[in-house]
A and B are shown apart, each in its own frame.
Chain A
Amino acid sequence: MSAVERNNVVEHGPSGGRPIVMAHGFGCDQSMWRHVWPAFAGDHRVILFDHVGAGGSDASAFDRRRYATLGGYADDVLEICRELALEDVVLVGHSVSAMIGGLAAAAEPERFGRLVMIGPSPRYIDDADYTGGFSRQDIEGLLDSMDSNYLAWSGELAPVIMGNADRPELGRELTESFCRADPEIARHFARVTFLSDNRADLARITTPSLILQCSDDVIAPEAVGSYVHSRLAGSRLVQLAATGHCPNLSAPAETVAAIKAFLAT
């Protein structure tokens, strides 16, 4: 199975344009980029994909050992780039995929021209003199939340998360489904994401990088964005007016403008 099939790669824009790969974070799929990618499709070769276990990816490709660390997900990004023979790539990663992108760029620096990290965090759990924002107990709480919502015990994907149910009371039929996830893989991804510690990897990233920091982001607070900025040599930190953790959905225009300004430098 090719990486392109495995990760449900979708392309937009001219094939000769500069490649821009957009990696979604934990909890959703490539539809996270729906308001962002069109702004780049005029002159870039836009590459969207789903992590294994999310969206339209091939969940049967999931392997606990391969995806035991974020490095496994970074390998997928690299495999996609190799298969499509992408060079001078702009890699845009949201949430946990900001670090996944960082790991990919550290592994094959010659392939990546620019790295954009939206809401990055190299470690979510507080440590001695580091504030990630969460305790280990909080992460257990997240897993409980997922159990309650994915209803993994029923053997079904929760329709609330799949969102593909016919909802006549809303006066419309949704044939698309968003942010689908395989419950067991999502649980695993949650553990790998929120228990990871990639602080030491920041020093290995040499690709010119942009950090987009939201206001009032409970997942990746401003102190964490500043930490990443201080450890990532030559990085640029831009504070967005957008609040929350998903400016790619809540403030796409501001997000696009910040990325374009960075690419123009």
Chain B
Amino acid sequence: MTAAGGVDDTTEDFFEDAPIGYVSTTPEGTIIRVNRTFEAWTGRSRGDLVGARRFQELLSPGGRIFYETHCGPLLRIQGWLREIALDVVRADGSILTTLVNSTLRPAAAGRPEVVNTSVFDATERRRYERDLLAARRREEEIARRLQRSMLSGDLPAGAGLDIAVAYHPGVRGLEVGGDWYDAFWLTDGETAGIVVGDVVGRGLHAAAAMGQLRSAVRALASTGLGPGPLLERLDAYARRHGVGRMATVVYAELDLESLHLRLACAGHPPPLIATPGEAARFVWDGRSPPLAAHRPGAAGRQEATVRLTRGSTVLLYTDGLVERRSSPLAEGMDRLRAEFELARGEDATTLTGRLSRGLHSAEHDDDVCLLAVHLAV
């Protein structure tokens, strides 16, 4: 019996001096009981707390709003809270960073409802979490800036060439995607190179890979390789440097004298073309697999040539424009073609604006990149 008595003493001591704070309250939060640890941690005596204050009054103002709008309702609805991060304000105004668990003990046999809360000192853990969050936000910001700087620059214009681009980051998700576009003169006023690509993945890594491929395309294009061989070299580059595996690219060269469009497409959605007097059509020629997915020694990169006339429009885009979670890809492509038919007579800027407004619905979370070329009549 003495042993049992000893256990009782120990239990009481354990409650009072446990390495966590205990607080019991009414469902409204009025404090009914606290242990010595909670008194010591908060610098507030029992007399200052019990019957005198509500638990949420001990929180920072922001924490109080969070508690009233999130924790209180949840406790009422499901009867418990787990690992809620709350800042408790000590008597001297300093902050005790805590993690809190609570259970709502239902009323029974004349005993009213009680909320039992255990309070853990989480100072170090929360500092670590905040550092992680800050690092994550920094990385996102760097990736965004990197992406913006790489997608800036003047587009070729003049000689009856009208080019416009639109870039819409995904509506959800914090990280930048790997979609990119580029357009440049190969020979000033005579031949223009246009490209749209999509690197697998998101974030800093995708932004960096996108930048490397974009630079590589520019450098290779300037040597006068032409679309098919350019993609072969880009393939070799991707393989050798381990960058942009499974990236998709469509690259085209437009000769403004002959109005021939030479293009090669590595696993990328097919370009959409409208020539005056004909229905808009997807170009399914000149296709080969995505970058670095092409087996070495297999047939070379395919290439196709499309004859355009003045008044023609060419659209390159990324899959975000046509993919929907809720419908098959073919439907998305049909929708794009229908929308394109309606807007094909417009200048390039109006066209990209209309297409991205009409098709980039809130339903998907992918990035969308569009590049339109219109040959003025």
A250 touching B76, Cβ below 8 Å: yes
CB-CB under 8 A from A152, the residues of chain B are: 133
- Tell yes or no: B19 within 8 A of A by CB: no
- Tell yes or no: B60 within 8 A of A by CB: yes
CA A250 to CA B64, docked complex, whole Å: 17
- Tell yes or no: A195 within 8 A of B by CB: no
Question: Beyond A63-B362, A184-B174, is A28–B73 a contact (Cβ under 8 Å)?
Answer: yes
CA A249 to CA B65, docked complex, whole Å: 17
B77 touching A144, Cβ below 8 Å: no
A245 touching B85, Cβ below 8 Å: no
- Nearest residue in B to A28 (C-beta to C-beta)? B73
CA A147 to CA B60, docked complex, whole Å: 15
- Tell yes or no: A170 within 8 A of B by CB: yes
B73 touching A27, Cβ below 8 Å: yes
- Tell yes or no: B223 within 8 A of A by CB: no
Q: Produce 1/0 per residue, A157-183, CB < 8 A to B.
A: 001110101010010001000110000
- Tell yes or no: A73 within 8 A of B by CB: no
B74 touching A163, Cβ below 8 Å: yes
- Nearest residue in A to B82 (C-beta to C-beta)? A160
CB-CB under 8 A from B28, the residues of chain A are: 216, 243-244, 250
Question: Beyond A27-B70, A27-B73, A63-B171, is A143–B364 a contact (Cβ under 8 Å)?
Answer: no
Residue from A167, A184, A194, A250 in contact with B65 in the complex, judged by beta carbons closer than 8 Å: A194
Q: Produce 1/0 per residue, A129-156, CB < 8 A to B.
A: 0000011001111111111110111000
A27 touching B69, Cβ below 8 Å: yes
- Which of A8-16, A54-62, A200-208, A255-263 contacts the other chain? A54-62
CA A62 to CA B365, docked complex, whole Å: 11
- Tell yes or no: A240 within 8 A of B by CB: no
- Tell yes or no: A209 within 8 A of B by CB: no
CA A238 to CA B343, docked complex, whole Å: 58
Which residues 24-79 in B have Cβ within 8 Å of A in the complex? Answer: 27-29, 54, 56-57, 60-66, 68-70, 72-74, 76-78
Min Cβ gap B121→A in Å is 15
Question: Beyond A62-B362, A141-B61, is A246–B172 a contact (Cβ under 8 Å)?
Answer: no
CA A210 to CA B66, docked complex, whole Å: 26
Question: Beyond A60-B172, A60-B363, A141-B61, is A149–B66 a contact (Cβ under 8 Å)?
Answer: yes
CA A249 to CA B171, docked complex, whole Å: 34
- Nearest residue in B to A170 (C-beta to C-beta)? B80
CA A218 to CA B133, docked complex, whole Å: 29
Question: Beyond A25-B69, A28-B69, A161-B70, is A141–B77 a contact (Cβ under 8 Å)?
Answer: no
Min Cβ gap A250→B in Å is 7
A62 touching B69, Cβ below 8 Å: no
B72 touching A144, Cβ below 8 Å: no
Question: Beyond A148-B126, A218-B68, A244-B68, is A178–B74 a contact (Cβ under 8 Å)?
Answer: yes
Min Cβ gap B57→A in Å is 8
- Tell yes or no: B18 within 8 A of A by CB: no
- Tell yes or no: B129 within 8 A of A by CB: yes
CB-CB under 8 A from A63, the residues of chain B are: 171, 362
Which residues 202-218 in B have Cβ within 8 Å of A in the complex? Answer: none
B172 touching A62, Cβ below 8 Å: yes
B362 touching A135, Cβ below 8 Å: no
CA A250 to CA B104, docked complex, whole Å: 13
- Tell yes or no: A32 within 8 A of B by CB: yes
CA A225 to CA B74, docked complex, whole Å: 25
Which residues 355-372 in B have Cβ within 8 Å of A in the complex? Answer: 362-365
B62 touching A28, Cβ below 8 Å: no
Min Cβ gap A57→B in Å is 12
CB-CB under 8 A from A147, the residues of chain B are: 130, 133
A135 touching B364, Cβ below 8 Å: no
Residue from A61, A62, A218 in contact with B56 in the complex, judged by beta carbons closer than 8 Å: A218
- Tell yes or no: A69 within 8 A of B by CB: no
- Nearest residue in B to A251 (C-beta to C-beta)? B28
- Tell yes or no: B151 within 8 A of A by CB: no
CA A246 to CA B73, docked complex, whole Å: 7
Residue from B72, B77, B129, B364 in contact with A148 in the complex, judged by beta carbons closer than 8 Å: B129
A140 touching B171, Cβ below 8 Å: no
Residue from B76, B129, B171 in contact with A246 in the complex, judged by beta carbons closer than 8 Å: B76
Q: Apart from A134-B61, A145-B85, what are 19 other A-B pairs with CB-CB below 8 Å?
A: A28-B73, A62-B171, A62-B362, A138-B60, A138-B61, A141-B63, A142-B61, A142-B65, A143-B62, A145-B87, A147-B130, A149-B66, A153-B132, A153-B137, A160-B83, A179-B77, A184-B174, A244-B72, A250-B72
- Residues of chain B touching chain A, judged by Cβ–Cβ distance below 8 Å, are 27-29, 54, 56-57, 60-66, 68-70, 72-74, 76-78, 80-87, 103, 126, 129-130, 132-133, 136-137, 171-172, 174, 362-365
A-B CB proximity, top 5 nearest: A141-B62, A27-B69, A148-B85, A138-B61, A142-B62
Query: 15 interchain pairs (CB within 8 A)?
Result: A25-B69, A134-B65, A135-B61, A138-B60, A141-B62, A142-B65, A153-B136, A159-B82, A163-B74, A178-B74, A219-B65, A219-B68, A244-B72, A245-B69, A246-B73
- Residues of chain A touching chain B, judged by Cβ–Cβ distance below 8 Å, are 1, 25-28, 31-32, 34, 59-63, 95, 134-135, 138-149, 151-153, 159-161, 163, 165, 167, 170, 174, 178-179, 184, 194, 216, 218-219, 243-246, 249-250
